[in-house]
Structure 1
Amino acid sequence: MLFNSFVFLLAFLPAAFLLHAAIERYRPALRLPLLLGLSLVFYGWWDWRFLPLLGASITLNWLIARILAKRPYPWLFPAAIAANLALLAAFKYLGFFADVAALIPGLSPPHLDLVLPLGISFFTFHHIMYLTDLRAGRAPCLGFTKYALYIAFFPQVLAGPLVRWSEIVHQFDERPYQRPDAAERIGRGLMLLTVGLAKKVLLGDPLAAMVNPVFQAAADGAAVTTAQAWQATLGFGLQIYFDFSGYTDMALGIALLFGVVLPQNFDVPYRAGSLRDFWRRWHMTLSRFLRDYLYIPLGGNRRGLAMQVGALFTTMTLGGLWHGAGLTFVAWGAAHGIGLGAGVLWRRAGWPMPILLGWALTTLFVMLTWVLFRATSFTAAGAIYAGLFGLGELGSGFKWRTLLMAAAVATLGPSAWAAVHRLSPRRRLAALFAVLFVVVLLKIGDDANYEFIYFRF
């Protein structure tokens, strides 16, 4: 069920919250089993056939963790990591590998497209983080219920944020509604839920309506005018921000309702003055994962300049592949790897970068590379780039007012997390958010209900 659907907002979430509150008060020992059960119901609502896959993944990784804690066989950890990645590859990358192999003359491998289980990329990375920390002696050996809930906790199982075990597991032992700030937490959770929903429905979805037709026309081989290309490029850069950050705000807010604080994932990324700064603000938990579990093991900045630039390029290229099984995603990640490497060289040279110029160059680079992320093929991306650089007709109808308003919201204000925590609890504020929630519900019922972009990954 979608976070932005009536069945979730008006049925599942209220029922789950009331049931959790009752259990937490009268049978606190059952709180974690209840949350795990609710998470499995939420996940199974999409397609119950994938519940055995999630259950088997959790059980096998938990058993491996138990063995590693007692007898750390040297072969077991790499085998477990390889098995997790193989499972991800089987569902997500078989078709991609077949397409790449087909580029070799004389090869014509069969193309297999399996249905992608929702959230498999995210819960696979959670397994990897925990097993890696357990092997390094940083993580304790968890009981089955806690481990399963860490992996499957329903606010974050489908699209993150990527949560380290150390950020969440200790909260499972708390009595969240016994805290002196319990009511304030619930209020801020509802506010985050409402803000995230509004970002998705009132900003992200209208942008999608003006972006999707242009990229579809490019995919169909039609010429794209300059006005259409810039509208679609800027529009998608803002759409994916409101869509994904809106989902994250909702996830953080929903988790707060159940007494769990999840890490922030966005910090006004379009205010970044460099590409390095952008990745410290955009999808922050993924950036942290790539840094700690890929970039640093590849050598990081400890083995010389050449190794650092190579590690950046490799990390971002693999990060692009993680986002999607297509060469356009690989190219998107590689472009960011090259951009980050260029930033390292610039800083090493000691050259100055004015703040405003750094922001303008960073924003332009990010927007231009989003084309590779969104386009369905290099041909479609080429059609968009041709329009961007004025190689076609000028066109008309550029919706600058919509883009300007969205850009102002994305760059001028604080993050939703910061804004919500700065506000003091007041009745008028509660009434205002209640009205906003009703407006969003009416909008959901009136328009097309777009799926969150990152559910595809």
Structure 2
Amino acid sequence: MLQIDFNKLADLFQYHANAPMLFNSGLFLWLFLGFSCLYVILRPHHRAKVIFVTLFSLYFYYKSSGWYFLLLVLATVVDYVLGWFIYDAEQRFYKRVWMIINLVLNLGLLAYFKYTNFFYEAWTQWTHEPFNPLPIFLPVGVSFYTFQSLSYTIDIYRGEIKPVKSILDYAFFVSFFPQLVAGPIVRAKDFIPQLYRPVVVTPEQFGRAIFLIGSGMFKKVIISDYISINFVDRIFDNPTLYSGLENLFGVYGYALQIYCDFSGYSDMAIGIALLLGFQYPINFDSPYQSRNVTEFWRRWHISLSSWLRDYLYISLGGNRKGTFRTYFNLFMTMVLGGLWHGAAWRFILWGMLHGGALVVHRFFRSYFSVGNFPLPRLLAQVLTFHFVCFCWIFFRADSMEIAREVLTQIATQFKPEIFTEFVLGYQNVLLVMVLGYFLHFIPRSVELQAEGLVTRLPLVGKLAWLLGVIILMTQVQSAEVQPFIYFQF
């Protein structure tokens, strides 16, 4: 007779700091299957659907950050109330006061969890005192849902939207689990109107969702995790143990790893949302095909770059206050974007490098008329890709010292004579990298054809495609499910 250990079963559904629930984990697949069955029943009933999905989303966040899901609940209540205060204020002065309070609360909360130890360490270095980090836990996804919530209150302040009538509908928007912990950053004016429409998932939308979920899992587990565990992590753990050639390919590997990791999560999030009847725009558009840094930021993490443009760059003055101020606003937007990614000087430097590159590109684009001194497309792509890779070194390295070691090894210990030995020693990793970059650089039309092929398959064919990806995942993934890189931001 089958014996069920209810203690182990209960433990499975509790939060474990070393095992947060991920889209590519077995537990989520089973939970989502059960969730979907109930969702199909409840989706015609608006209020029941909203309550059910919100409760599931809060449980999903509990499995990612433990009792810090209460922080999400608190932030939801505060921003919902302040949204109405901003809207109801008749005088501009009071609207501004409530908006400032909202900014202080949201950004203050974010600053406490992400930057307290950063500023504390800087203070101890200045005063020459010992640094003992404070035991502050960074809740997963706090940066994402803070920015998402801020877009709601800022749009109310600007008069672009009206506040939602029900706090449950607002809670649904803030906590919706597909994008909750790592984006895309969804705006209320794009998402909330969909909440009141009948939930309809056409066969084409279902097919596209299955394609996105499968391709997202493929990018995350089969490409990103494999080259991370078997190559990239080893290089960045101790660069001096490896030649400059290995360090260089470690940088190329990380560029592919972070793209496949983050775009893979976005694909899964967009696909899962589409299965539930909600449509998101794409978050990545083959960014390494860019011919300049400006184009790169139109293709990379589109929801964040557009958020920074609309709510930070424009709020700083955008391009409305003269050339110098435009350059300053561009630069500061990217510096603050770097700081958003992490509380470390290397992230600030990463933002400064991208900000400086955006300023330089804008200068030459305005100084030379369009069409003058154009670079060949391939050369422009190669230069832009290598600049982005150079910046990734500071993003990935655990310290500035590690970044310096990587650059030193590449510059002084390149050793091209070991190329054949290098290829033979890392042939599996290099094959995966070649596959990853090949898939990235194929024309968009080919990608759309592949998506259309899966979409046109019968239901059995779609499920076979997804099952095939899952089986392949189980063959190549490590013993432990690897968290997504952007969980730490």
TM-score by length of 2: 0.87
- Say if 1:135 and 1:314 are closer, same or farther in 2 by CA, change over 3 A: same
In structure 2, the residue matched to 1:190 is: 210
**Amino acid paired to 2:33:** P
Matched, 1:166 2:166: no
Give 2:468's match in structure 1, choosing from 428, 436, 442. 436
Report what 1:200 is aligned to: 220
**Superposition TM-score, scaled by structure 1 size:** 0.93
SS in 1 for 2:373: coil
The equivalent residue for 1:121 is 143
The verdict on how the C-alpha distance between 1:18 and 1:79 changes in structure 2, with shifts beyond 3 A counting, is same
Cα distance, 1:447 vs. partner?
4.3
Q: Match of 2:4? A: none
Structure 2 residue corresponding to 1:405, chosen from 430, 435, 440: 435
**2:361 partner amino acid:** G
d(CA) in 2 for partners of 1:185, 1:80:
37
**Deviation, structure 1 residue 346:** 1.6
State the partner residue of 1:237. Answer: 255
- Cα drift, residue 446 of structure 1: 5.8
Distance 1:268 1:392, change over 3 A: closer
Kindly indicate whether residue 320 of structure 2 is the aligned counterpart of residue 299 of structure 1: no
Q: Of residues 23, 30, 37 in structure 1, which corresponds to 2:42? A: 23
Note the C-alpha offset of 1:435. Answer: 4.3
**1:57-206 map, 5 Å:** 57-71=75-89, 73=94, 74-106=96-128, 111-142=133-164, 143-176=166-199, 179=200, 182-206=202-226
Unaligned runs of 5+ in 1: none
- Residue 392 (structure 1) shift: 6.2
Deviation at 1:429, TM superposition (A): 4.7
Q: Shift of the alpha carbon at 1:391?
A: 4.3
Contact kept in structure 1, 2:222 and 2:473, CA below 8 Å: no
CA distance in 2, matches of 1:20, 1:444: 32
Structure 2, gaps ≥5 residues long? 1-20
Bigger drift between 69-78 and 421-430 goes to: 421-430
1:256-335 matched pairs, under 5 angstroms: 256-335=274-353
Between the aligned partners of 1:165 and 1:431, the Cα distance in structure 2 is 33
1:156 is paired with a residue whose SS is: helix
CA RMSD of aligned residues (A): 2.1
* Paired residues, number: 449
Q: Which residue of 2 aligns with 1:13?
A: 32
* Structure 2 CA distance for partners of 1:417 and 1:123, relative to 1, 3 Å: farther
3-state SS, counterpart of residue 177 of structure 2: coil
Indicate how the Cα distance of structure 1 residues 445 and 234 shifts in structure 2: closer, same or farther if over 3 A, else same: closer
Q: Which amino acid aligns with 1:397?
A: F
Report the CA distance shift for 1:251/1:419 in structure 2 as closer, same or farther (over 3 A): farther
Q: What's the offset of the Cα at 1:113?
A: 4.1
Are the equivalent residues in 2 in contact too, given 1:62–1:144 (CA < 8 A)?
yes
* Closer, same or farther: CA 419–16 of 1 in aligned 2, 3 Å: farther
Distance 2:305 2:49 in 1: 32
**Counterpart Cα distance in 2 of 1:415 and 1:287:** 25
CA distance in 2: counterparts of 1:38 and 1:451, whole angstroms: 20
Q: Is the 8 A contact 1:23 1:31 kept in 2?
A: yes
Q: What's the offset of the Cα at 1:414? A: 2.9
| Cα displacement (A) at 1:425 | 1.4
> What's the offset of the Cα at 1:305?
2.0
Q: Distance in 2 between matches of 1:193 and 1:224?
A: 36
Q: Find the aligned partners of 2:113 and 2:466 in 1 and give their Cα distance.
A: 41
Partners of 2:450 and 2:265 in 1: CA distance: 16
SS in 2 for 1:148: helix
Q: Equivalents in 2 of 1:407, 1:388: separation in Å? A: 21
Contact 2:216–2:263 (CA under 8 A) maintained in structure 1: yes
Give the 3-state SS of the residue equivalent to 1:145 in structure 2. Answer: helix
CA contact (8 A) 2:222 2:477 kept: no
Kindly indicate whether the alpha-carbon contact (under 8 Å) linking 1:200 and 1:242 is maintained by their aligned counterparts in 2: yes
Contact 2:289–2:441 (Cα < 8 Å) also in 1: yes
Change (3 A) 1:57 1:77: same
**Counterparts of 2:445 and 2:345, CA distance in 1:** 32
Match of 1:373 in 2: 395
Residue type of the alignment partner of 2:245? A
**Contact map agreement 2:232 2:254 (CA 8 A) in 1:** yes
Q: Once the 2 structures are TM-superposed, how far is the Cα of residue 420 of structure 1 from its aligned partner?
A: 6.2
Which residue of the other structure, out of 236, 242, 260, is the alignment partner of 1:215?
236
Asked if structure 2 preserves the Cα contact closer than 8 Å seen for 1:203 and 1:239, the reply is yes
> Distance in 2 between the 1:162 and 1:435 partners?
29
Amino acid corresponding to residue 234 of structure 2 in structure 1 = P
CA contact (8 A) 2:283 2:300 kept: yes
Q: Deviations 1:99-118 (Å, cap 9, x if unpaired)?
A: 22233255667632411001
Deviations 1:87-132 (A, max 9, x none): 0011111111112223325566763241100110001101211111
Please tell me whether the aligned partners of residues 119 and 158 of structure 1 are also in contact (alpha carbons under 8 angstroms): yes
Query: Structure 2 CA distance, aligned partners of 1:174 and 1:236?
Result: 41
Question: Does the 8 A contact of 1:272 with 1:278 survive in 2?
Answer: yes
Alpha-carbon distance in structure 2 between the residues aligned to 1:445 and 1:402: 13
Name 2:3's counterpart in structure 1.
Answer: none
Residue 33 of structure 1 deviates from its aligned partner by 1.1
Give 3-state SS (helix, strand or coil) of 1:161's partner: coil
Verify: 1:426 aligned to 2:457, yes or no: yes
Does the C-alpha gap of structure 1 residues 231 and 157 become closer, same or farther in structure 2, counting only changes over 3 Å?
Answer: same
Change (3 A) 1:152 1:440: farther
1: CA distance, partners of 2:440 / 2:97: 47
User: In the alignment, residue 406 of structure 1 is paired with which amino acid?
Assistant: G
Give, in angstroms, the shift of residue 307 of structure 1.
Answer: 1.3
Percent identity, aligned pairs only? Answer: 32
Higher mean C-alpha displacement, 199-208 vs 235-244: 199-208
Task: Say if 1:52 and 1:432 are closer, same or farther in 2 by CA, change over 3 A.
Answer: closer
- SS of the residue aligned with 2:252? helix
1:2 alignment partner, one of 14, 18, 22: 22
8 Å Cα contact 2:209-2:270 kept in structure 1: yes
Match for 1:402: what amino acid?
V
Find the aligned partners of 2:355 and 2:101 in 1 and give their Cα distance. Answer: 29
Distance 1:193 1:43, change over 3 A: same
Question: For residues 277 and 313 of structure 2, what CA distance do their matches in structure 1 show?
Answer: 33
Offset, 1:344: 1.0
Equivalent position SS for 1:155: helix
